Amino acid sequence: MNDELKLACELKQDAAREEANWYKHILTISFGSLTLLISLMPAIPDLPAAKFLIIGTWMFLGLSILFGIGATYQPVSLLRKSGNAVAKSIMDGNKNPIIGVNTHWFFSMCRIVMLTSLILAIVCMVAFSTTKTLFPNKDLRPAVETSADPGNAQSTKAHPNVLAPNGKALKNN
């Protein structure tokens, strides 16, 4: 019975160690993606959806990082609780303490929010990339604005970010 208990404890410790390593990898990927996206600051097409998607990507990656930090603390908390439970059991006179330690609800919430926000960040990033591919450097505002001018029948002004069909910038009149 004692050997089986030791084996069960070792297996739980190995599982906790591997889970912590997995959280570290997810945090590294999230942090690296957020840093890369912000430092390269992609050209954002002048579409409300594109702006919404890139901001959503940044926000969800940030949430993933914050809650990932909370989730990585779970093994430390479990080991502390286990150590305290073993010490208490030994002090109470038990020679072979059997310990059942529950995970705090906060760590479960952190794990769920971390994974959900990472998935949402990936979805936003893919949607943003698709939008950027469909509308590369596209400014959807009118290429030429017309306004009534008392001196002219009509004067035209080009928007400064609009390109003519030949790829050259339109000049203001």
CA distances to 26, 32, 134 from 77, rounded to whole Å, are 20, 27, 48
pLDDT in tens, 43-97: 777 788 888 988 898 899 889 889 988 888 887 787 778 777 777 777 777 766 6
Percentage of the chain beyond pLDDT 70 is 68
How many residues in the chain? 173
pLDDT at 59: 92
More confident residue, 81 or 111: 111
Is the pTM here over 0.85, yes or no?
A: no
Q: Where are the domains of the chain?
A: 2-136, 144-173
Q: Give the Cα separation of 76 and 89 in Å (integer).
A: 20
pLDDT at 120: 94
pLDDT at 56: 92
Token pair belonging to 6: 């030791």
pLDDT in tens, 5-18: 676 677 777 777 88
Q: Give the Cα separation of 74 and 95 in Å (integer).
A: 28
Concatenate the DSSP letters of all residues of 80-138 into one string: HHHHHHHHHHHHTT-SS-----PPPHHHHHHHHHHHHHHHHHHHHHHHHHHHHHHSTT-
Query: Does residue 96 sit in helix, strand or coil?
Result: coil
pLDDT in tens, 23-45: 888 888 888 888 877 776 767 77
